[in-house]
Amino acid sequence: ASMAVLVAFVAALILTLAVVPIAKNWARRLGLVDEPDENRKLHQTSIPLVGGLAIFVAMVLSLTLTFVIFWNQFPLLDATYWPITYKLLGLLLACGFILFVGLLDDRFELRGRQKLLGQIIAATILIAFGFQFEQISILGTRFKLDIFSIIFVYAWLLIGINSVNLLDGADGFATTIGLMMSGALCVISLVLSPELSLNAVITAAAAGALLGFLRYNFPPASVYLGDAGSMMIGLFISAMAIQSSSKQFTVWAFVAPIALLSIPMFDTMAAIIRRQLTGRSIYTVDRGHLHHALLRKGFGPRKALLLFFAMCLMTATGGTLSMIHRQAEYALASIAAVIIFLMVGRVFGFGELRLVINKVNGFLRSFLILPKHRRSHQIAVRLQGERDWELCWQVLREFAEKSNLLQLNMNLNLPWLHENFHAKFHQPDKKISPDDQWTAEFPLLVGDRTIGRIVLVGIVGEVSFYDTIGELADVLASLQPYLEQTIKSHDASELVAETPADQTADAQVVSSTQPAQGSHMLDVG
């Protein structure tokens, strides 16, 4: 088995190095490239999006070569070996299908629901070919999962696919997570049982292909994975994690795979919290992911990737030790160590944590404070960046108080400048029917760019809706020179270059239960 693993790894490595240049030329002729823009794609030239295709082709060729050489060890067409061959076929079909969906998205930009449908179909293929758990043992008692097994596997696969996909926003990050997790799964399969030797060969081929592709994807990247590659890596790792632990029935067999994908899952959870609690769609584009945070801290693209590699190595080691020693503590400790490092060092996740704390505080306050003692409340959170948006928010907050609005939200999102600021003002709870409230949402514009959105909630009949909107338009017009000056307060070229001077300020939260004192309306004449 060890020799077959080595052959699969080396063959996939060499084949990827050979296939990528061919795929690059093919991609340019078909227009399968990622073009730069002025919003969030800040690379200077068009980059081919064929990394996923090259990796898949190299893996298939490598596995074919390995199985031919070691046919006596892996008689895939033998009747007694057919159940294992059946699962391998399902894995290749699912990866091929998700690769096809990703290539369509990279070329034609599919809608989110269309990609989700493709992911569900790919997950369904895996489940139909036997990728699922049947039971779990807790404290010596076994529980049959039945229908919950299918639900769990669907959730696991979809989370894995999208977590890796969201992390693919900087050179080498998704490739690194795939490389580390494939290597860990290979070691787990070799150590645990001879029955898993085929899994070891498959994951070794994936690791070899990803290492070969990292040659082209290392900063500065000349080829991108694209959605095709990142989704395929997420699906592959999630599926092989199931396969490597499906023979086990204990809690540690579930915790170990979670450790392997803990970093992309943590990044995804933070993104959902950040967007949901600031009133934005979870599909909103921003530059608040882990890789962006590392770059803003001044590490530089290569140093950020090396630090990310070290974190992945820690969680991969924890997951591997948990599987080998059958103790969940190793996986849990590795996950906790990475999260504590990121949170305590205020590298990533600190702003999202403060949003959660504020939400919980507001919920508890609604139970503990009587209505007649409640006062207006406002919170301002700097999630990313270092520009001063406080004066803009103060002007809008005073407008909300003057207009007796129930609520006013300001969400600024400037991904091309690494700026993300959220602020919210709301009056004490009043017994007002939803039918007696009005809600309006407006874009916050500077020139021809939308830099954010403002949401207002008012009371029908108390203040004229049209007068309020007119006054808001005047306020926003008066803020234009200030916003333009704030946006230009730092040289954009420095931001694009990701220099240490662009280090983000720590997430800052200002919370008050007192009304504003005095007037700070801008006089911009």
Tens digit of pLDDT for each residue in 33-52? Answer: 988 765 555 556 889 999 99
Q: Could you tell me how far CA 468 lies from the centroid of its own chain?
A: 39
Res 146 pLDDT > 90: no
Res 337 pLDDT > 60: yes
User: Residue 171: what are its φ and ψ, rounded to 5°?
Assistant: -55, 125
Res 367 pLDDT > 50: yes
How open is the CA angle 166-357-256, to the nearest 5 degrees?
Answer: 45
Mean pLDDT to the nearest integer, 229-253: 81
**pLDDT for residue 362:** 73
**pLDDT for residue 363:** 74
Reported as a pLDDT band with limits 50, 70 and 90, residue 182 is: very high
Which of these ranges, 81-85, 147-151, 456-460, 503-507, has the smallest mean pLDDT?
503-507
User: Residue 41: what are its φ and ψ, rounded to 5°?
Assistant: -95, 95
Mean pLDDT to the nearest integer, 366-373: 60
Number of Cβ within a 10 Å radius of residue 21: 13
Mean pLDDT to the nearest integer, 361-390: 74
**pLDDT for residue 224:** 95
- With CA atoms as reference, report the closest residue to 415 among 248, 258, 296, 264: 296
Which of these ranges, 35-44, 71-80, 254-263, 486-495, has the smallest mean pLDDT?
486-495
Q: Which residue has the higher pLDDT, 84 or 512?
A: 84
Mean pLDDT to the nearest integer, 278-288: 77
Cβ contacts of residue 200 below 8 Å, gap of 6+? 1, 5, 186, 189, 190
Task: Report the percentage of the chain scoring pLDDT > 70.
Answer: 83
**pLDDT for residue 208:** 97
Whether pTM > 0.85 for this model: the answer is: no
392-430 per-residue burial string, b: 16 or more CB within 10 A, e: under 16? bbbbbbbbbeebebbebbbbbbbbbbbbbbbbbbbbeee
Task: Report the percentage of the chain scoring pLDDT > 90.
Answer: 44
Question: Is 439 exposed, middle or buried, given 0-12, 13-18 or 19+ CB atoms closer than 10 A?
Answer: exposed
| Structure tokens that stand for 170 in this block | 């900087």
Res 506 pLDDT > 60: no
Residue spans of alpha helices (H) in 297-327: 300-325
Mean pLDDT to the nearest integer, 90-99: 97
CA pair distance 201, 183, nearest whole angstrom: 11
| Structure tokens that stand for 365 in this block | 């306050």
The highest-confidence range among 110-119, 383-392, 501-510, by mean pLDDT, is: 110-119
**pLDDT for residue 501:** 31
Res 502 pLDDT > 80: no
CA pair distance 296, 344, nearest whole angstrom: 17
**pLDDT for residue 353:** 87
**pLDDT for residue 19:** 96
Cβ–Cβ under 8 Å, residues 519 and 398: yes
**pLDDT for residue 393:** 93
Mean pLDDT to the nearest integer, 235-256: 77
Q: Which residue has the higher pLDDT, 326 or 473?
A: 473
Q: Which residue has the higher pLDDT, 493 or 63?
A: 63
Which of these ranges, 3-7, 274-278, 419-423, has the smallest mean pLDDT?
274-278
